[in-house]
Amino acid sequence: MPLHELNALLRMYKYMYMSRKCEDRLIELYRQGIVKGTVTSGEGNEAAIVGAVSTLNPETDVCNFMQRDFAGYLIWGVSIYHLFSHYIANKDSATQGKDGNVHHGIPERGLLPMVSHLGAMLPNVVGATYARRKQGKNSIGLAIIGDGGTSTGDFHESINIASVLGIPVLFFIENNQWAYSTPNSLQFKCSDLSLRSAGYGIKGKKIKATDVSLVCREVNDIVQEMRSTGEPFILQADTYRLSGHAAYDKAEYVPADELNTWKREDPVPMARSKIVSEGIQSESEMQNLEEKWDRKIDDESNRALQAEKINPSSIGWNVFAETKPDITLPPHSGENLTPVQAVNHALHHALAHDSNVFLIGEDIGYFGGPFKATKDLFKEFGRGQVIDMPLAESGFCGFAIGASEMGLRPVVEMQFSDFSTDAITQICVNAGTFFFRTGRRLPLTIRMPGGGGLSYGPFHSEDLEGLYGTFPGLKLVYPSVVEDYFSLLLGSIYDDNPVLFFENKFLHRRLRGNVTFTGEIERLEKARVHKAGDNLTILAYGAMFHEVIAAVQAVEKRLDASIEIIDPRILKPFDWDTLAESVTKTHRLLVVHESWGACSIGSWIISGILEKVFFELDAPPMLFTPPDTPVPFAPELEEVYRPGRESIAETIQRLLSM
């Protein structure tokens, strides 16, 4: 072996050795009840992860690690003390004890935080690699997945997006033969997963990953080619999981002869044997080094064990990052705009004055989107800021999350809000938990055109704010008037959290209004009292806001009533003070919205008001929504299904009579 490879082998062996010893120690602590959750060992996988990660530059490249990639964290510069602290969940845990084992990362250094939905991390790597290259770095991404994870939809969507957009990501398949207890023969029929590369128009290869030097050499050649071509690559690295799925798993389902065959190629003793046989180190020198490494592991792990425990009262329980917009945009005005035109103006204004803002979605480029919200933006700003994506909602939402982790401000268009359910893991599990578990901001806006009234039927008419409202960490914005379509969209783009921006399709071209923007970004905080009143408070948003206005105009004089109308504008976090003050004055509350009533925003609001001002109420609060059925197609059915001014007026009369 050349001298530089011999030196590299000793360095890589250090990480392999320390990784295995650390995991052995963690398993001991788990069995003593000190480490909680579980420990998933990388025994047998060390050559694959160490050989691959050793080719990367943490200052420019992007990577995700999985549950068996402990050695990767060491290479990336995470200390043994901090790795043990996270398992033990002491005061220096990377997530303050909010997540455990290897679920952490350093996004600012290209190491993306892990989630248990392993396939869901792949599009994050693609998006983060795109962002770093957009920022002028010659970055490549290492997207690591196991053999079982190749069955996920995100695996396909990520490779396809990387191929179509020309983003150099190495999809590195750690094929250790078992997905928990499921063998490869029950996971897929092909023996070489890299052959799938042909379907994406990219290159692929399969290697045996028990020799760390071979893995490093092969991956380095691929990485250098990717840096020059900018194309993705699929590499299957065959290895074997030499222990159970986790510390609690005895792996009795693994055939003994198969396990014994692979144990003869255990990568750690193989690397050690080569170091001695090649004369890099003598046996005594190796023993001295290993004793030195053992002492370091003991010192660091003991320090973690002795560290102060987490005090629940001292950690932050916030799910939202504090937002202080650090940009002032030029003033802007527009007259007689529809809501969709106001959206277009807001997107144009952000794109024109901030290169960190970019748009992604389906058919948003030259076509301008199905509702023309992005009309002419592609012509002016090009593919660098307006990106047509494949039909892959989970993939491109995950892409946007990865780009946001690198400091960009992506704006995702869901063609219809109904389609967002394909991306619920990315939106709710990955993005929604991000600040809570990492303490880092995640600026991300997802535009959600929804609602009925257009005879689009069950799959193009859903209003899903109630669904997403059950998940922590997501801000929900629902404008009702033209000016808010502009100002609140800019406020969403410059918020440092994931924001779902709901647009009512029925209103897209049915309202007109003016926009006057002073240049100051609005914070997503306050509801608006549209009309003052004394006898009843009605809270409504979207199309229902305008149905309520019409209903109030029809009944107020006839009933000799004074009715207050509140437009909440921001559903989460909710402006409880404005609503509580109003209900304290009027002593009655009616909530009207177009989404279903079960487990809804309205039921949550009423529950909150009952807790806050119960003794101020003269009648039980009421929630008026469509029935809990899918949205019907026929106009005659949909007219009955959706609350309208007449049915709202009847509800007002009933509540005032109580």
Taking each helix axis from N to C end, the angle separating 3-31 and 283-306, rounded to the nearest 10 degrees, works out to: 40
Strands, E, within 286-400: which ranges? 332-337, 357-361, 386-388
Q: Compute CA distances 513 → 331, 340, 503, 517, 529, whole Å.
A: 17, 11, 16, 13, 18
Please report the DSSP string for 207-241 in residue order.
EE-S-HHHHHHHHHHHHHHHHHH---EEEEEE---
Give 564's contacts (C-beta < 8 A, 6+ positions apart).
529, 531, 532, 533, 534, 536, 537, 538, 582, 585, 586
Please report the DSSP string for 403-442 in residue order.
HHHTT-EEEEE-SSGGGGGGGHIIIIIIITTHHHHH----
Tokens 């990717």 belong to 226
Side by side, the strands of the sheet bearing 589-592 are 528-531, 563-567, 536-540, 589-592, 622-624
- CB burial of residue 400 (10 Å; 0-12, 13-18, 19+): buried
Give 658's contacts (C-beta < 8 A, 6+ positions apart).
588, 618, 619, 620
Task: Give the dihedral of Cα atoms 333, 338, 342, 345; nearest 10 deg.
Answer: -70
Report the alpha-carbon distance of residue 624 to residue 465 in Å, rounded: 16
Are 564 and 537 in contact, with CB atoms under 8 Å apart? yes
Tokens 């190749």 belong to 150
Strand partners, 172: 144, 235
Cα 439-444-450 angle, rounded to 5 deg? 135
Give 520's contacts (C-beta < 8 A, 6+ positions apart).
328
Tokens 């398949």 belong to 173
Q: Which of 229, 182, 254, 171 is nearest to 205 (CA)?
A: 171
Q: Can the peptide bond before residue 573 be classed as cis, meaning omega within 30 degrees of 0?
A: yes
86, 104, 349, 460: which one is catalytic?
A: 460
Residue 530 appears among annotated catalytic residues: no
Are 464 and 417 in contact, with CB atoms under 8 Å apart? yes
Element (DSSP H or E) covering residue 111: strand 111-112
Tokens 């194309």 belong to 231
Report the alpha-carbon distance of residue 339 to residue 443 in Å, rounded: 23
Active site residues: 460
